[in-house]
Amino acid sequence: MHTVKGILLKKTKFSETGIVLNVFTEKYGYRSFMVKSANSKKNGIHLSGLAPLSILEITAHISEKDKLQFIQQLTLNFPYHHILFDLKKTSILMFLNEVLLKLLIHKAEDEVLFRFIESQLKQLENTLEIAPDFHIEFIIALSKTLGFKSEELHYCSANHKNASARTEFLNRYLQYMAEHIDGFTDFKTIPVLEEVLRK
């Protein structure tokens, strides 16, 4: 039995009593977990209400040979109290979720990357007034953590003052990252994010 922290990337209803959670864990990388009795309080939380990129603490038998691990205990390691009631923060969270799902699927163990993402999510939650370019700074720092920050694309908030300019830079930077990451294209949350941050 192992207890490990993880970041929720996706949840999928498996049956009337089960949900599959796709999670990037601190110690084991990308893993898929099955939780039975999804609507039961015995697992510690209501799984149907789990937010994207929730920071979890998972107790499970983790085996390299099994594609699906069965969770014995699941709790929220760091509950979100502000993100889900702030439209800007929620829009940023949905974009980050889309980015990380494309990036981390089948990703091996990377504790440095995990700690970076965890710290950024906590900052998103704890910052009272989130900057409109938080997601851009995240993407740039993410590429640096991964080891391929662009030396040609430079972001400056003074030069990207409006939502359209920020989105243009974001799209260019994501195109650059797609040269290093397979399947890192077609981000559907960007138009919504641009519209929300324009207000």
**pLDDT tens-digit readout, 149-182:** 999 999 998 888 898 999 999 999 999 999 999 9
pLDDT at 39: 44
Mean pLDDT over each residue of the chain, to the nearest integer: 91
pTM of this prediction? 0.93
Domains and CATH numbers, the chain: 2-78 (2.40.50.140), 83-198 (no CATH)
Model confidence pLDDT, tens digit, residues 3-19: 999 999 999 988 777 88
Is-contact 88 197, C-beta < 8 A?
Answer: yes
Torsion, Cα of 116, 139, 187, 105 (10° steps) = -30
Strand-pairing partners, residue 56, are 6, 76
Q: Using CA atoms, how far apart are residues 148 and 140, in angstroms rounded to an integer? A: 10
Phi-psi region of 22 (alpha: psi -120 to 50; beta: other; left: phi over 0): beta
Tokens of 150: 């662009």
Q: What is the mean pLDDT of residues 101-115?
A: 94
